[in-house]
C-alpha cells in the first residue's frame, strides 16, 4: 500500500533561492570583484584592464598570491622562481603519451585532468587542511607553472609531435607559445597573448572558480581542487566558447551575408555565440580590451569581426528593443588567438593556462576558512511515506 501526501515545507530551507544561485553571496573574498552594471572588474584593488595594459603576467600572478604588486627586484625573483617550476617530474613526462592517446578527440583539456592528478601525486601534494600557508603556496605555484607545459605537450603528442621543453629565459606567455609551436614567438604576438591571459586570470565566482573553492573547503589537496575546476571549465556554457565565436564569423562568411544571417538567428530565438554575458549589462571590458589588441594587428579578419559586432548590436536594437546584448570576452578572444597563431582546439586550454592562476589564488584563500561549503537542496519529489510499505 502506498502513501501519498504533499511534501512538507522545511522551515530551515529558504524559499526564495534563485536558480543557479544567481546573485547569492556565498563568502567574502579579497581577490577581486566583477561589477556587471558598471562594466568593470578588478584584481585586488587594481583595474584588471589597466593591469593587462601596463603589467606583465608574472606581476599579476604575484599580486593575486601575495596581495601586492611587486617592485622590480621581486618581480624578477618571482619570474625566476615560477620559470624554474615549469619542467615536469619524470613520472609525469613518461605518462603523457598514454594520456594524450587516451584523450583522443577530447584534446589537451581532458588529458590535463589526468595529468594534474598525476602531477599532484608526483610532487607530493598533501591536503590543504594538513599543511601550512607556505606549503600551500608552494604547491599552488608548482601546479600553475606546470599547466602550460602539460597543455602544450598533450597537444603536440596528440599530433604525433615531440613535446618542447620549457625555457626559463622566456616570460610565461612567450614560453607558452614557444612550447606550443617550437619557435620563439614574435614580441607582438607574445604580448597580445599575455594581455589576453592577464584579462582572464580571474572573474568572480564563475562555475570553475566556485568548484575549486568547494573542493578546497573539504581540505583536499591542491591538484584535486584544480582537476575539479578544469572539469567545470570544459563545459561549453563556461570555457568552451572562443572557437565557437570564430565559427560564427566563418558561418557568416562575407559582409553581405551579415544582416540576413543575424536576422534569421535572432528571429528564431537562437543564441549568437560571442554575444551576451551572465553578469555584464554593459559592454564586457575584456571584449573592449581584446578589440583594441585585435585592431593593433589589423587586416580583413579584424575588420570583418568589428562589422559583425556593429551589425549584431544594430539588428538587436531593431528587433529586440530595450535588450542590451554586447560582445563578450570570447568573441574577440578567438580573433586575437587566431591572429597569434593558436589553433582553435587550444583556445579553451589557453583560457585554462590563465585561469589556473586565479583558481590557485582562490584555493589558497578558501583554505584559510575551516568551514566546509555544504548548501542544501529543496526536495520537490513525491512525498516520503511515514514508513516503508510491507512487501508481503
For the CA atoms of the chain, what is the radius of gyration? 23
Q: Which residue has the cell 538587436?
A: 316
Residue of 42, 203, 277, 326 marked active site: 277
13-17, 106-110, 344-348: which has the minimum mean pLDDT?
Answer: 13-17
Give me the pLDDT at residue 7, please: 45
Residue 52 to residue 192: CA distance in whole angstroms: 10
Instruction: Catalogue all structural domains in the chain, each as residue range(s) with its CATH number.
Output: 46-236+347-367 (1.10.580.10), 242-339 (1.10.230.10)
Residue 112 to residue 124: CA distance in whole angstroms: 18
Strands 32-35 and 46-47: unpaired
Highest-pLDDT range among 160-164, 376-380, 382-386: 160-164
Residue 70 to residue 387: CA distance in whole angstroms: 64
286 in the Ramachandran plot: left (φ > 0), alpha (ψ -120 to 50) or beta? alpha
Cβ distance 152 to 176 under 8 Å? yes
| Tens of pLDDT, residues 29-61 | 999 999 988 889 999 999 999 999 999 999 999
Residue 163 to residue 96: CA distance in whole angstroms: 10
Give me the pLDDT at residue 201, please: 97
**Annotated catalytic residue 58:** no
Higher pLDDT, 68 or 284: 68
Residue of 58, 194, 330, 338 marked active site: 330
Distant-in-sequence, close-in-space partners of 354: CB < 8 Å, separation ≥ 6: 196, 197, 198, 200, 201
Predicted confidence (pLDDT) at residue 217 exceeds the cutoff of 90: yes
| Tens of pLDDT, residues 313-340 | 898 888 888 777 787 888 899 999 999 9
**Annotated catalytic residue 318:** no
Predicted confidence (pLDDT) at residue 22 exceeds the cutoff of 80: no
Predicted confidence (pLDDT) at residue 23 exceeds the cutoff of 60: yes
H/E/C letters for each residue in the chain? Answer: CCCCCCCCCCCCCCCCCCHHHCCCCCCCCCCEEEECCCCEEEECCEEHHHHHHHCCHHHHHHHHHHCCCCCHHHHHHHHHHHHCCCCCCHHHHHHHHHHHHHHHHHHHHHHHHHHHHHHHHHCCCCEHHHCCHHHHHHHHHHHHHHHHHHHHHHHHHCCCCCCCCCCCCCCHHHHHHHHHHCCCCCHHHHHHHHHHHHHCCCCCCCHHHHHHHHHHHCCCEHHHHHHHHHHHHCCCCCCCCHHHHHHHHHHHCCHHHHHHHHHHHHHCCCCCCCECCCCCCCCCHHHHHHHHHHHHHCCHHHHHHHHHHHHHHHHHHHHCCCCCCCECHHHHHHHHHHHCCCCHHHHHHHHHHHHHHHHHHHHHHHHCCCCCCCCCCCCCCCCCCCCCCCCC
Mean pLDDT of 275-298: 87
Residue 310 in grid coordinates: 556593429
Give me the pLDDT at residue 13, please: 56
Neighbours of 303 (CB within 10 A): 13
Amino acid at each position: 500500500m502506498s502513501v501519498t501526501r504533499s511534501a512538507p515545507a522545511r522551515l530551515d530551507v529558504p524559499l526564495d533561492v534563485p536558480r543557479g544561485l544567481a546573485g547569492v553571496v556565498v563568502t567574502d573574498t579579497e581577490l577581486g570583484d566583477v561589477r556587471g552594471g558598471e562594466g568593470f572588474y578588478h584584481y585586488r584593488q587594481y583595474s584588471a584592464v589597466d593591469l593587462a595594459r601596463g603589467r606583465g603576467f608574472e606581476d599579476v600572478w604575484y599580486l593575486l598570491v601575495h596581495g601586492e604588486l611587486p617592485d622590480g627586484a621581486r618581480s624578477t625573483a618571482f619570474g625566476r622562481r615560477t620559470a624554474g617550476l615549469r619542467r615536469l617530474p619524470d613520472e609525469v613526462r613518461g605518462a603523457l603519451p598514454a594520456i594524450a592517446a587516451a584523450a583522443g578527440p577530447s584534446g589537451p583539456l581532458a588529458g590535463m585532468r589526468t595529468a594534474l592528478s598525476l602531477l599532484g601525486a608526483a610532487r607530493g601534494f598533501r591536503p590543504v587542511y594538513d599543511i601550512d600557508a607556505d606549503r600551500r603556496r608552494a604547491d599552488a605555484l608548482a601546479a600553475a607553472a606546470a599547466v602550460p607545459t602539460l597543455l602544450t605537450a598533450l597537444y603536440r603528442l596528440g599530433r604525433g609531435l615531440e613535446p618542447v621543453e620549457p625555457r626559463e629565459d622566456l616570460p610565461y606567455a612567450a614560453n607558452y607559445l614557444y612550447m606550443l609551436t617550437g619557435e620563439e614567438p614574435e614580441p607582438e604576438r607574445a604580448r597580445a597573448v599575455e594581455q589576453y591571459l592577464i584579462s582572464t586570470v580571474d572573474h568572480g565566482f564563475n562555475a570553475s572558480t566556485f568548484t575549486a573553492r568547494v573542493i578546497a573547503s573539504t581540505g583536499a589537496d591542491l591538484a584535486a581542487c584544480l582537476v575539479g575546476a578544469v572539469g567545470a571549465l570544459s563545459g561549453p556554457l563556461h570555457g568552451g566558447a572562443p572557437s565557437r565565436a570564430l565559427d560564427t564569423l566563418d558561418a557568416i562568411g562575407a559582409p553581405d551575408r551579415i544582416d540576413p544571417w543575424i536576422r534569421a538567428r535572432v528571429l528564431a530565438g537562437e543564441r549568437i555565440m560571442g554575444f551576451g554575458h551572465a553578469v555584464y549589462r554593459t559592454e564586457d571590458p575584456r571584449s573592449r580590451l581584446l578589440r583594441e589588441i585585435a585592431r593593433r594587428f589589423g587586416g580583413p579578419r579584424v575588420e570583418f569581426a568589428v562589422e559583425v559586432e556593429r551589425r549584431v548590436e544594430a539588428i538587436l536594437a531593431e528587433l529586440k528593443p530595450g535588450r542590451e546584448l554586447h560582445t563578450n570576452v570570447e568573441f574577440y578572444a578567438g580573433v586575437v588567438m587566431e591572429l597569434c597563431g593558436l589553433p582553435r582546439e587550444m583556445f579553451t586550454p589557453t583560457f585554462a593556462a590563465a585561469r589556473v592562476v586565479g583558481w590557485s589564488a582562490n584555493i589558497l584563500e578558501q583554505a584559510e576558512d575551516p568551514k566546509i561549503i555544504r548548501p542544501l537542496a529543496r526536495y520537490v519529489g513525491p512525498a516520503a511515506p511515514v514508513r516503508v510499505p510491507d512487501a508481503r
